[in-house]
Structure 1
Amino acid sequence: MSVESSLTLGSVPVDTGRSRSIGRRILGRAARATGFRIGLGLLGVLVLATVLYPELSGLDPGKMDVRARLLPPLFAGPHWSWAHPLGTDQIGRDMLVRCLIGLRYSFLIGGASTALTLVIGCALGMVAGYVGGRTDAVLMRITDAQLSIPMIILAIAVLGVSRPTIPAIILVLGLSNWPVYARVMRSVAMAERGREYVRAAQVSGATHARIVLTLLTPLLVPPILFTSVLDIARMMIFESTLGFLGLGVQPPTPTFGNIIADGRKYLLNAWWIATMPGVFLGLTLIGLNLIGAACERARNAIHGGA
């Protein structure tokens, strides 16, 4: 066994080449897919626009201009303005800047809540699967109880009685989805705990905590980490739903949900107010799903050929 592909726990070398390389293998295989490249390019354009345009344009997403109210996009009518390429809303605020600021918050909440879900779900699932016994039984009953509560119902119940701040929304969304990861991580941890490299580490005197953190976590987390991109898209949809219901980030901060909620009153004479946020959200979800699907196919191919 080569030094590059081994780790010594106590006095016994343990093969970890697979642990260290699985993430790179998944990413490398996924990156060769056309869908992955299209999704990455689409997300790259959206992220650059989100970061650069609001600052370079100098437009305030909350600035009202009643003289420029309900201007159509460049492609939608005779009264458009170069200053507002996607038009303005009912009180003259620029739609492009508002949509891009809304995309910032959507990325923030979707990414942070998914990260929280990963940490909680993977940690509890790893402990349940590796330790087993009474610990496993207790954690899985907690998981079953959490799974019985629909995410949207939990979010409405919590945010309906408290102020829906960004940290509160991230916490609610993150805590509502971790059982899925806990179940998956438990099953694979149970399968791995009987493998030779784990038994060798135990015989060599390595502690359970060190085995979990050094051996199992690098092996089991990367496949779930890559395919969790699909959950970012799902969290962004939930965040927009909460905003539409008035339980998301509150105005005057623009988010996709509250922009669409404001624009539904003007669908007949100013359809772009409600449509443009949906277009940006749709493009973002397409990019994330193309990347996530490519990563999931790569993971399945690697595990199928392992």
Structure 2
Amino acid sequence: MAIGTDIDPAGTAVARKRGPGTSLFAKAWRTADFKIGFAIVLGLLLLSVIGPYLLNLSPTQFNVSKKFLEPGLLDGANMPYLFGTDQLGRDLFSRSLIGLRNALFIGVVSVIGMFIVGSAIGMIAGYVGGWVGLVLMRLTDAQMSIPVVILAITILGVTRPTPLTIILVFILAGWPAYARVARSVTLSERRREYVRAAKILGASDLRILLVHIAPNILPPIAFVAVLDVAKMMIFEAALGFIGIGVQPPTPTFGTIIADGTKYLMNAWWITTVPGLLLALSLCGINFMGGALERSRNKILQGVE
């Protein structure tokens, strides 16, 4: 029987109050790693949203008379530029916060899209089976053989890179991993008693997939999805660094760091500030992903 599903005395399949996904996150939340990671990510997210408005400094306005100002935290005479300015006199901290916001948005939305597309294809392949499942999984294998960087360069090199196109490229590259997991879970769950009971009671295939089988896909995918957010943030920064990410004047981690590499000797803060923000956000996400993985293993082992 699936986690989170019971059969009542009348034989009706009903869901427990706490599903498998809820149990996973509840167990992970009790760990220090998850709380620390969540606090880091939430703090950075709030800072990226409200920080630019609190600083009241434009991330795109040029002021060449103030270029290469050292961080105000090191030289009080350069306040309010807490982390200095770049080669065009733009405030580096507000630019980095906008870059963080864009990276988190692209990473989270991309992973949500991967999960939805991959889970849908995997569940259909596992539940229907036959030639339909065979075709879908061969398509999955073919797509999985194409590296995300190669796919991104091929598509973004002939189109105008925007957040939407980058998200679509990441979804196109990442959904096969989720499809494989979803198919594996569906193949296991479709033979369970609660699925047979639901069929006898007249539940449609769509209801069985969405209500009974889909919740069981979350535990094995949750920690992978969280870690994939970090991976997509790195890919987004890499694309910006080589010039095929979101285009200026929109600030991104990749473009800021790429600009700063030309001035490492006399303006080290241009690369350091966005690099530290990116590293800190990745640490927070990895803390959460690690806690989810350990909690999943404990659930599988029956450890409280």
Q: If the TM-score is normalised by the length of the shorter chain, which range does it land in?
A: over 0.9
1:136 equivalent in alignment to 2:129: no
The 2-side partners of 1:98 and 1:85 are apart by 12
In structure 1, what residue type is equivalent to 2:82? P
- Equivalent position of 1:35 in the other structure: 33
Normalised TM-score (structure 2): 0.93
1:114 equivalent in alignment to 2:111: yes
Give the 3 Å change call, closer, same or farther, for CA 255–161 of structure 1 in structure 2: same
Unpaired stretches in structure 2, ≥5 consecutive residues: none
Q: Where in structure 1 do 4 or more consecutive aligned residues deviate above 6 Å? A: none
The 2-side partners of 1:258 and 1:131 are apart by 46
In structure 2, what residue type is equivalent to 1:283? L
> How many residues in Structure 1 have an aligned counterpart in Structure 2?
299
- Equivalent position of 1:45 in the other structure: 43
Q: Trace 1:118-197 onto structure 2 (pairs within 5 A).
A: 118-197=115-194
The 1-side partners of 2:302 and 2:201 are apart by 31
- Equivalent position of 1:248 in the other structure: 245
The 1-side partners of 2:40 and 2:160 are apart by 34
Give the 3 Å change call, closer, same or farther, for CA 79–65 of structure 1 in structure 2: farther
Moved more, 208-217 or 229-238: 208-217
The two structures, once aligned, show a CA RMSD in angstroms of 1.9
Normalised TM-score (structure 1): 0.92
- Equivalent position of 2:255 in the other structure: 258
Give the 3 Å change call, closer, same or farther, for CA 210–196 of structure 1 in structure 2: same
The 2-side partners of 1:186 and 1:91 are apart by 52
Instruction: Please tell me whether the aligned partners of residues 7 and 194 of structure 2 are also in contact (alpha carbons under 8 angstroms).
Output: no
- Equivalent position of 1:61 in the other structure: 59
Percent identity over paired residues: 50
The 2-side partners of 1:262 and 1:229 are apart by 30
The 2-side partners of 1:235 and 1:80 are apart by 38
The 1-side partners of 2:240 and 2:16 are apart by 45
Instruction: Please tell me whether the aligned partners of residues 122 and 185 of structure 1 are also in contact (alpha carbons under 8 angstroms).
Output: yes
1:97 equivalent in alignment to 2:94: yes
The 1-side partners of 2:23 and 2:76 are apart by 53
In structure 1, what residue type is equivalent to 2:192? R
Q: Residue 61 of structure 1: CA displacement? A: 0.3
Q: Trace 1:257-276 onto structure 2 (pairs within 5 A).
A: 257-276=254-273
Give the 3 Å change call, closer, same or farther, for CA 16–208 of structure 1 in structure 2: same
Q: Deviations over 1:135-182 (max 9, x none)?
A: 110001000100110010000000000100111011001110110010
1:17 equivalent in alignment to 2:8: no
The 2-side partners of 1:214 and 1:41 are apart by 32
Unpaired stretches in structure 1, ≥5 consecutive residues: none
Q: SS state of the match for residue 228, structure 1? A: helix
Q: SS state of the match for residue 89, structure 1? A: coil
In structure 2, what residue type is equivalent to 1:41? A
Q: Residue 226 of structure 1: CA displacement? A: 5.0
The 1-side partners of 2:147 and 2:160 are apart by 21
- Equivalent position of 1:215 in the other structure: 212
Structure 1 residue corresponding to 2:200, chosen from 171, 186, 203: 203
